[in-house]
Structure 1
Amino acid sequence: MNQLPTVENTAKVNRGLSFKFDLQAYTLIIALVLIAIIFGFFTGGEFLSSRNISNLFTQMSVIAVLAIGMTLIIVAGHIDLSVGSLVGLTGGIAAILQVWYDWNTLMAVLAAVVIGAVFGLWQGWWVAYRAVPAFIVTLGGMLIFRGILIGLSKGQTVAPMNASFKEIGNSYFPYIPGYILAIISIALLFFWTARNRKKRESMGLMLPSAKLDYGKISAYSFFILLITYMLNRYLGIPLPILIVVVLAGIFIFISNKTAFGRYVYAIGGNQEAAALSGINIKKNTLWVFITMGALAGVSGVLLTSRLNAATVSAGNMYELDAIAACVIGGTSLIGGKGKIVGALIGALIMASIDNGMSMMNIETFWQYIVKGLILIVAVWIDISSKK
């Protein structure tokens, strides 16, 4: 006679599942720690210096913003090969409007984001309403946007930007406000954890161990304070990484707590089932591409601001870095699976490898080889886990 599961047995099973889930979730963090230790050792600790960590976060911000949008694109079952060229184009337009036509910083930034969204709308229309594969549409977009940039700029480097524009990518949040912001972030983490536990309990849903939940939040809090301390030892928290954190928070909320986010995952998971359940696939696909275009505009502003110039080669190959960051972060190229937090960690891993190998004076061709191998292994792990 089969024995019915007892409360004790169920708890054991749940603990096992929780451990397995956590092990998978923290694999990226473990990999990041190992990368930091290895490069820290081979650079005599310079890789882990406050100055280099600050530079690392600033450098990764452009790819991180692109990875946020690319996560939604890939989750929906598509791909966007045009984002690198769109970064160059939107950043170039912002520079041209300010340097050649004397637009103020706010209007130039808004123009870059709006133009990015419009081009995203154009590509999304072809994919959603004309059923042209996203690979072809965005491959064409990659060439078109680069051509428009070369035509508008006449092949010239457009510089310098106004001081207020340069501050977007090169300024820092002061020390004391930085610590206040870190404490507020930690308080919000504990508040949302307690709120979610209370909500699950009121709905009669199964609750993870309180020690597990609050232990994770305590670990997050430790790392938030540690990173804030390290950054404040240099010049403070870089403004670009704060922009990334704000955008990530917005899109994590959208992907997890809104109907649009759920629809995107449903479309990528099983498009036929999503259509039968009443989801407007064309409309939601269109909005995914609009979002990606707007975020490419933000990245274009950050890149132009950091470099204090716009060039015809700006953003070259950034689409591959963004896709690699998503895949390394656990986003499935088949669609239906992926997390923004994972993509951000993937972007940090890619930036760390570039930064560490440069500090070790390793030749550039090795950096391309290593990143390519990492991408192949990440996809292989994703496929193996499905089997």
Structure 2
Amino acid sequence: MAEISQNPVQKRRGLIESLDIDMRLVGMIGALVLISLAFNLATGGAYLSPRNIFNLTIQTVSVAIMATGMVFVIVTRNIDLSVGALLAICSAMMAMTQARWLPGMLGLELGSPLIAPLTVVVGLVTGTLIGAMNGWLVGYQLIPAFIVTLGGFLIWRFAGWYLTSGQTIAPLDQTFLLFGGAEGTLGETWSWILGLALSLVALWAIWSARRSKLAHDFPVKPLGAELALAGMAVAAILGFVAILNAYAIPKGKLRRLFEAQGMELPEGYSAGHGLPYSVLILILVAVVMTVIARRTRLGRYIFATGGNPDAAELSGINTRLLTVKVFALMGFLCGLSAVVASARLQSHANDIGTLDELRVIAAAVIGGTALAGGSGTIYGAILGALIMQSLASGMGMVGVDSPLQNIVVGAVLVFAVWIDIQYRKRWGKT
């Protein structure tokens, strides 16, 4: 009897499994490329200009930082609707600390070297404590996370409003503003050095993973596929650095920088911005959160609890304390995002973080985090945040009204969940 040949779907699945290709990641990258090309065509090339890519990058950071924490929250089968309001109260606390309380109580005026570190500590502690309180209410008092964080959504933004008496707080400390992106960058030389260092780290990670699999007799990708992946990683890192270095610092700003050092701007001198400090913060957060997810007991407990909470509790995991830790981490990241967001805006405004709940949850879900819990990736959430911001930036550049932008974002979120369901059905993912 003749053998029955595999159908095309089985052959394709076998090829993809042998190459260990994450089709969801490929799909997200493809969507980002299509979005970028479409908006670049619609704006006559302005969308992919170095200036817009720089602005798009620093605008993405605050949402992307919170999205990494939202992955853990959703993986444990919870939700946090208060992240935007939590960002607002942290921003209000930091603004009042540096502009009102420190000058009034300790006599530390703006420009003091103590202002920025004390302000950041206040923001991070505020976010962590509120997040831990949310986790305690959910984990130990058994109040649904939806209700707890919906209450936080209504409470914390308006608590910030009362804290600042409804005023926009500005100016902020110049050192603090370095965390926003536009005011704080590495410059061309150090950006290239860091880009080369990150490229070497990427190559080492790919080689180390292959060597580890071979040592344990696990299947590995063909060598050609590994080399292609390594080449794409290096090209992406160095290409990104080259684009940000190509965005020149305005002459007026260069002149002020030289004058601050008692020097005169040389004729014809120019310099690029390079990598913003806020992007470095996001890279650090991504690395730390990935290590937590993949290499630590906390990460294993988070994913085990999300996969089967009852089994996790029976196996000895303190799921209530775990819930407190996850929400406290989410609060810490909201405080860190508040640092970046308020520094980028160079002030605290009452509407800071508005609708960030939508953007953060959407970024995590678009990035592949399952709302049913148990699965999700940090890099997927960051890529999801970039897709969301790319849509918003592109629609703004072509003149789409703000209400229609939110309609599109909502439609994209629903479509992303539908795609995720179809992916899991097609490829047998759980």
Query: What is the TM-score with the length of structure 2 in the denominator?
Result: 0.85
CA distance in 2, matches of 1:167, 1:24: 35
The corresponding residue for 2:157 is 146
Q: Is the 8 A contact 1:275 1:281 kept in 2?
A: yes
Q: Does 1:285 align with 2:323?
A: yes
Which secondary structure does the structure 1 equivalent of 2:374 belong to?
coil
- Number of residue pairs matched by the alignment: 380
Cα deviation, residue 322, structure 1? 0.2
- Match 1:251 to one of 264, 281, 289: 289
The corresponding residue for 1:132 is 143
Larger radius of gyration: 2
Q: Spell out, residue by residue over 1:94-146, the C-alpha distance to the aligned partner (whole angstroms, 9 max, x if none).
A: 01000002361100001100110000110000111111110001111111212
Cα deviation, residue 13, structure 1? 7.7
CA distance in 2, matches of 1:13, 1:300: 43
Q: Is the 8 A contact 1:90 1:112 kept in 2?
A: yes
CA distance in 2, matches of 1:72, 1:31: 24
The corresponding residue for 1:119 is 130
The corresponding residue for 1:225 is 238
CA distance in 2, matches of 1:26, 1:253: 22
Letter in 1 for 2:190: P
Q: Does 1:27 align with 2:40?
A: no
Change (3 A) 1:12 1:349: closer
Letter in 1 for 2:302: V
CA distance in 2, matches of 1:347, 1:356: 14
- Match 2:405 to one of 364, 367, 370: 367
- Match 1:267 to one of 305, 312, 334: 305
Letter in 1 for 2:195: A
Within-5 A mapping of 1:182-261: 182-234=195-247, 235-261=273-299
The corresponding residue for 2:258 is none
Q: Aligned-pair RMSD on alpha carbons?
A: 1.9
Which secondary structure does the structure 2 equivalent of 1:341 belong to?
helix
Where structure 1 has 5 or more consecutive residues not aligned to the other structure, the ranges are: 4-10
Letter in 2 for 1:126: L
Within-5 A mapping of 1:41-190: 41-101=41-101, 102=103, 104-169=115-180, 170=182, 171-190=184-203
Query: What is the TM-score with the length of structure 1 in the denominator?
Result: 0.94
- Match 2:382 to one of 344, 366, 370: 344
Letter in 2 for 1:154: S
Cα deviation, residue 84, structure 1? 0.2
Cα deviation, residue 25, structure 1? 2.4
Q: Is the 8 A contact 1:121 1:287 kept in 2?
A: yes
Q: Is the 8 A contact 1:190 1:214 kept in 2?
A: no
CA distance in 2, matches of 1:13, 1:155: 57
Cα deviation, residue 314, structure 1? 1.3
Letter in 1 for 2:200: A
Runs of 4+ in 1 over 6 A off after TM superposition: none
The corresponding residue for 1:8 is none
CA distance in 2, matches of 1:162, 1:299: 17
Q: Is the 8 A contact 2:24 2:368 kept in 1?
A: no
Where structure 2 has 5 or more consecutive residues not aligned to the other structure, the ranges are: 4-10, 109-114, 248-272, 426-430
The corresponding residue for 2:365 is 327
* Identity across matched positions, percent: 38
Q: Is the 8 A contact 1:92 1:304 kept in 2?
A: no
Cα deviation, residue 76, structure 1? 1.2
Q: Spell out, residue by residue over 1:287-345, the C-alpha distance to the aligned partner (whole angstroms, 9 max, x if none).
A: 11010000000111111111111122211110110000111111111111111111111
Cα deviation, residue 286, structure 1? 1.1
Change (3 A) 1:177 1:133: same
The corresponding residue for 1:294 is 332
CA distance in 1, matches of 2:323, 2:221: 35
Which structure is higher in helix share?
1
Which secondary structure does the structure 2 equivalent of 1:173 belong to?
coil
Q: Is the 8 A contact 2:77 2:374 kept in 1?
A: yes
Change (3 A) 1:159 1:272: same
Change (3 A) 1:22 1:146: closer
Cα deviation, residue 20, structure 1? 7.3
CA distance in 1, matches of 2:13, 2:407: 42
Cα deviation, residue 14, structure 1? 5.5
CA distance in 2, matches of 1:243, 1:81: 24
